[in-house]
């Protein structure tokens, strides 16, 4: 392993990682080789539950298009944010989480120090050029003992890594095709977001960035 300006660069076949904050692990190129199969699994999910731009409670339409897979899917409309077992667009259950996605999430979580990660929901975001995600916390899951696993495919993005206080200026971290971010423990409720996506073209995803965010959502029981 070689180090340059605080960033770890791996020799061939060696995992490259960095820890930009306590409880946060960035795995460079972790799923790059499997990206075509991952993307095909996303296309299968999309064929059942299409991408859509949701409306937040304040009435604003999000610039990011979203869909879900797994037991529970994250949704928003004028009545609030929540997880539901059914896709409100189709009335049917969200597509089951493909095995390749489940395996990816669990392997990445283990690399980030959470070997017992049990994701039951995956929010899939599609960013067109100019789309962004403002600073927010992932709080709707109710169980904060398990991490968030975030997978990047396609166009690069600037991940805004904040703290537990919205008013703190976030760090700007570049995430590229195949990178995976894992955050949990003291960082589980950090504020985070995505800066506007810049124009470009990716051989796999075209003019889009695709992001998969795996969570463990506590049931109502």
Q: Is residue 8 part of a domain?
A: no
Q: Is residue 82 part of a domain?
A: yes
Domain count, the chain: 1
Question: Residue range 9-13: average pLDDT?
Answer: 41
Range of the domain at 207: 17-215
Position 12 pLDDT exceeds 80: no
Q: Is residue 29 part of a domain?
A: yes
The alpha carbon torsion through 97, 115, 22, 14 (nearest 10 deg) reads -90
Q: Is residue 203 part of a domain?
A: yes
Cα distance between residue 64 and residue 149, in whole Å: 18
CATH number of the domain where residue 89 is located:
2.60.120.590
Q: Provide the pLDDT for residue 15.
A: 73
pTM of the model: 0.92
Q: Provide the pLDDT for residue 181.
A: 98
Q: Provide the pLDDT for residue 20.
A: 96
Q: Is residue 135 part of a domain?
A: yes
Q: Provide the pLDDT for residue 221.
A: 53
* Cα 15 from chain centroid (whole Å): 20
Mean pLDDT of the chain: 93
Residue for token pair 């539901």: 84
Q: Is residue 221 part of a domain?
A: no
Cα distance between residue 3 and residue 117, in whole Å: 29
pLDDT tens digit sequence for 113-160: 999 999 999 999 999 999 999 999 999 999 899 999 999 999 999 999
Residue 219 banded pLDDT, cuts 50, 70, 90:
confident
Position 174 pLDDT exceeds 50: yes
Q: Is residue 220 part of a domain?
A: no
Q: Provide the pLDDT for residue 8.
A: 41
Q: Is residue 117 part of a domain?
A: yes
Q: Provide the pLDDT for residue 149.
A: 98
pLDDT tens digit sequence for 53-102: 999 999 999 999 999 999 999 999 999 999 999 999 999 999 999 999 99
Provide, rounded to the nearest whole percent, the portion of the chain with pLDDT above 90: 91
Q: Provide the pLDDT for residue 220.
A: 62
Cα distance between residue 193 and residue 188, in whole Å: 14
Write out the DSSP string of 51-106.
-B--B-TTSPBPSSEEEEEES-EEEEETTEEEEESB-TTTSSBPPPPPHHHHHHHH
Q: Provide the pLDDT for residue 116.
A: 94
Question: Residue range 196-201: average pLDDT?
Answer: 98
């Amino acid at each position: 392993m070689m180090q340059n300006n605080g960033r770890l660069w791996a020799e061939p076949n060696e995992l490259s990682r960095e820890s930009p904050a306590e409880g946060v692990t960035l795995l460079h190129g972790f799923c790059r080789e499997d990206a075509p199969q991952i993307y095909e699994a996303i296309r299968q999910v999309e064929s059942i539950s299409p991408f859509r731009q949701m409306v937040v409670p304040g009435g604003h339409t999000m610039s990011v298009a979203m869909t879900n897979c797994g037991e529970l899917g994250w949704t928003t409309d004028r009545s609030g944010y929540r997880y539901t077992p059914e896709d409100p667009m189709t009335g049917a259950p969200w597509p089951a989480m493909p095995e390749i996605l489940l395996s990816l999430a669990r392997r990445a979580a283990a690399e980030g120090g959470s070997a017992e990660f049990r994701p039951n929901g995956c929010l899939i975001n599609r960013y067109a050029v100019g789309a962004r995600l403002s600073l927010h916390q992932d709080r709707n899951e109710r169980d904060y003992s398990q991490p968030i696993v975030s997978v990047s495919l396609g166009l690069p993005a600037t991940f805004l890594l904040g703290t537990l206080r919205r008013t703190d200026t976030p760090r700007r971290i570049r995430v590229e095709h195949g990178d995976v971010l894992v955050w949990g423990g003291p960082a589980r409720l950090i504020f985070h977001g995505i800066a506007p996506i810049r124009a470009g073209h990716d051989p796999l995803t075209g003019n889009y960035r695709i992001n998969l965010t795996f969570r463990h959502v506590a049931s109502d029981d």
